Amino acid sequence: MGRDVFTPADVARYAATRRELRAWGPVVEVSEIGDGNINNVFRVRCEGGSFVVKQSMPYVRIDTSWALSAARIHHEAEAYRQWARFAPDAVPALYVHDRERFLVCVEDLADHTVWRGELNAGRAHPGAVEILGRLLARVAFHTGALRLGDHAGAQLRASVPDEDMHALMDNLVFCEPFLEHERNSFPAGAADAVGRLREDPRVLAAVGRMRRRYVTGGDALIHGDLHTGSVMVADGSAKAIDCEFSAYGPVAWDVGQLAGNLLIALARARVLEREVATLAPMSARLWEQFADELARLWTHRADRGLTHSFLADWLDELSADARSFAACEIVRRVIGIGHVADLEELDAPTRAIAVDGLLSAARDVLVGNAGAWPAFAQAVIDAVDGARGRRVDAVNAARERRP
C-alpha cells in the first residue's frame, strides 16, 4: 500500500494491521463518506464499533491537477492532539496518525450530523455556538504566549508548519474574490453588487488590512477553516472536524469564519421567509461565549504585566477583526471557490437576492458602516429584504413597460 491512495479494500487491509484499531474487531464494511473537496474519507464498520479514516493526497480530490501538500493531514493530527488537552469533548478522538501514509483514524461521529445541513433544514442547534465559543477561547489562550510564555509558545509554533495551507487560504479569501478569476462564480442577478464591492476603494483597503492581519498574526493554533460544514452537532454536543488548515494564525480568524457562515445561514432563512429569531443572535452569542471564556482564563496568563484593561482593549480589537474576517468569509463563499449548500440549493432568482444582500452587508462592515455583532446580523436581514424589494420593483417596472 505504501503511500498509494487508498481504496476501501486498502482501508480494510490496513485496519487489520494496526494494533490501535484491533479493539473494534474484524472489519465488516468500508464505505466512502467524504463530501468535501480535498481528501478521501472512509467509515470503517467493525464487529465491535466503527471509526473514520481520512487520507490526504498531494492534490485536491476534485481536481487532481491542483497540487496541494499531503502534509496537511499532519496539521490536522496536531490540532486534535493539542485541542484535546483542554477541550476533549469538542473534537473527535484521534486513534492513529500515520505519517508515512498521510492519514489519520479518528472517532466516528455517526451519531452527529453536519451542522450546515441541520441549519439548512431549519434546525439551528443554538447550543453549538456556546460550546464552540468556549473552545475557541481555550485554543486562543492555551496555545499562545498568554498561557505558555514566549519560549514554550515558540516551540509549539515550530511544530506546526503551515506555509502551504496558510498561503492557499490567503489566496482564496483575500485575493481571488476581488478579481476576475476563473474559479469565481456568482448569480447574474448579483453582478451589480459584486461590481460595487470590487470597485470600492474603501473595501479594498479594508481587505488589505485584514489580509495583513491574517498573514502576520501568528497568535494561536487556529483551526483555519472553521465553518458550519466542519462542525458536527447532536443534542448538547458540537465537535470541530477537518483541521487540515490548522496553523498559527490570528485569534479572531476562527470566530470570524464561523460567524460568517452563520450569517450566510441567516440570509438563507430570511430569503426563504423562515423564522429567524433563533438564528439572528447566534453570531453575537458565539462572540460573547468566546469573550467570556477568555476573560475567565485571564487569571492564568503567563505575563502578569498584562492588565485587565489590556484584556478589555484586546477584546474590542478582536471583536472588530472577527467581524471583518466574517465579512471576508462571506465574500469568499458567495463569489470565490468554495460555494456553500446554503445558497447553492436555492433557485437562481432567490439565490441572487441572498447573495446581493450578503455582499451589501459585508461591504457595510468592511467600510465601517455597521456596528457590533447584533448590528451585523440585522444588516444581513435588512440587506436581504432590500434586495428582495429591488427585485420586486424591477419585475413590476418591466411589466408596466410591456405593450
Identify the CA nearest to 39 among candidates 22, 28, 51, 55.
55
Output the pTM of the full model.
Answer: 0.92
CA–CA separation, 1 vs 15, rounded Å? 12
The model's pLDDT over 109-130, given as tens digits with 9 standing for 90+, comes to 999 999 999 999 999 999 999 9
Share of the chain above pLDDT 70, in %: 91
Q: CA-based angle 164:32:80, to the nearest 5?
A: 45
Nine cell digits for residue 299: 487569571
Length of the chain equals 403
> pLDDT averaged over the chain?
90
Which of 352, 351, 376 shows the shortest CA–CA distance to 362? 376
How many other C-beta atoms can be found within 10 angstroms of the C-beta atom of residue 374?
A: 14
Q: Which residue has the higher pLDDT, 67 or 386?
A: 386
Reported as a pLDDT band with limits 50, 70 and 90, residue 302 is confident
Which range, of 95-104, 150-159, 160-169, 194-203, averages the lowest pLDDT?
A: 150-159
**Domain residue ranges in the chain:** 8-107, 113-401
d(CA 356, CA 400) in angstroms, rounded, equals 24
Residue 2 is predicted with a pLDDT of 44
Check if the beta carbon of residue 91 is closer than 8 Å to that of residue 239. yes
Number of Cβ within a 10 Å radius of residue 128: 27
Q: Is the pLDDT of residue 155 over 70?
A: no
CB distance 86 to 135 below 8 Å = no
Average the pLDDT over 324-350 and give the result: 96
Confidence of residue 181 (pLDDT cuts 50, 70, 90): very high
CATH topology of domain 113-401: Aminoglycoside 3'-phosphotransferase; Chain: A, domain 2 (3.90.1200)
Interatomic CA distance for residues 271 and 165, integer angstroms: 34
* Per-residue pLDDT at 71: 87
Q: Which helix (H) or strand (E) holds 113?
A: strand 113-114
Q: What is the per-residue pLDDT for 1?
A: 40
Tell me the average pLDDT across 17-30: 93
Q: Mind listing the pLDDT tens digit for each residue in 132-149?
A: 999 999 999 988 877 655
SS3 44: strand
Looking at mean pLDDT, say which of 14-18, 55-59, 163-167, 278-282 comes out highest: 278-282
How far is the CA of 279 from the CAs of 72, 150, 350, 381, in angstroms?
33, 39, 19, 11
Give the C-alpha distances (Å, rounded to integers) separating 152 from 43, 145, 157, 245: 37, 8, 9, 22
| 39, 83, 193, 334, 337 from 330: Cα distances, Å | 24, 26, 13, 6, 12
CATH topology of domain 8-107: Phosphorylase Kinase; domain 1 (3.30.200)
- pLDDT tens figures, 239-259: 999 998 888 899 999 999 999
